[in-house]
Amino acid sequence: MRNILEVSDLCVSYGKVEALSNASIKVGEGQIVTVIGPNGAGKTTMLSAIIGLLGSRGTVNFDGRLETTPDVEHLVACGMSLVPEKRELFGEMSVEDNLELGAFHRYRNGDRRYRETMAEVYEIFPRLKERRTQMAGTLSGGERQMLAVGRALMAKPKLLMLDEPSLGLAPLITREIFRIIAELRRRGVSILLVEQNARAALAVADYAYVLETGAVAMEGPAAALRDDPRVIDTYLGLGGKHQDMLAA
């Protein structure tokens, strides 16, 4: 299987503090790969560095091309999409305008078929269609997350990177979001999923990395990690029963 993304020895420093040291990960085409780990482990930093929002050392190989200095605009145009932790929606614009802007670089390159993609997004998220004239800032937390994912899908990405999609969402909505992530994989989108909700992430993913204090501590097929005693101890723990119900 071909790898859509290969990151080797990625390092990011904030001043003297190294937030990410020599992280190497791979995402195979059509796979869901998840990165789990505690707060402050450097998960968000890693995604920001991969897409070029943060300066970094190391190499990022995306879709067969080597990016020595990743640049956001360039990578987005090449088919990488990030749904950031903060969503970064355009609050005072309508849902439909937000979605349209997701297809901006396609429009710029002369691809006028984004209306069809919008119909697909509405099919995945019927709620967004109901609210399409509403300002994005007035949506509920779950709807915002749906809009952020929908907006990223408008770009027809080859790789979708999701940063904590379940953060701050009610359990029922979280379940809905994970159902959609599985559905996207079925439609052939490769996904890099960063999550604190380890149980739900491991349930949906093919392969997983555990990030601790800026370095990859463990990796393996998601099913294997789910049964690894260290992972159970640290990340799945006692709350497991409750989360089990969510992930099911």
**Under rule CB under 8 A, how many of the chain's residues touch another protein?**
28
Q: Which of 86, 187, 230, 242 binds another protein (CB under 8 A)?
A: 86
Residue 183 lies near another protein (rule: CB under 8 A): no
Q: How many CA atoms lie within 13 A of 191 on its CB side?
A: 28
123's CB contacts (< 8 A; 6+ apart) are none
| Cα 89 to Cα 232: distance, rounded to the nearest angstrom | 35
Q: What DSSP character marks residue 236? A: I
Q: Which of 51, 216, 222, 225 binds another protein (CB under 8 A)?
A: 51
Residue 46 lies near another protein (rule: CB under 8 A): no
**Closest CB to another protein among residues 93, 215:** 93
Question: Which H or E run contains 222?
Answer: helix 222-226
**Closest CB to another protein among residues 89, 189:** 89
Residue 113 lies near another protein (rule: CB under 8 A): no
172's CB contacts (< 8 A; 6+ apart) are none
Residue 230 lies near another protein (rule: CB under 8 A): no
Residue 247 exposed, middle or buried by CB count within 10 Å (0-12, 13-18, 19+): middle
Residue 187 lies near another protein (rule: CB under 8 A): no
**Closest CB to another protein among residues 81, 190:** 81
**Closest CB to another protein among residues 98, 243:** 98
> Residue 96's Cα: distance from chain center in Å?
22
User: What does the binding site for another protein look like in residue numbers (CB under 8 A)?
Assistant: 51, 53, 72-73, 76-77, 81-82, 84, 86-93, 97, 100-102, 104-105, 107-108, 137, 151, 155
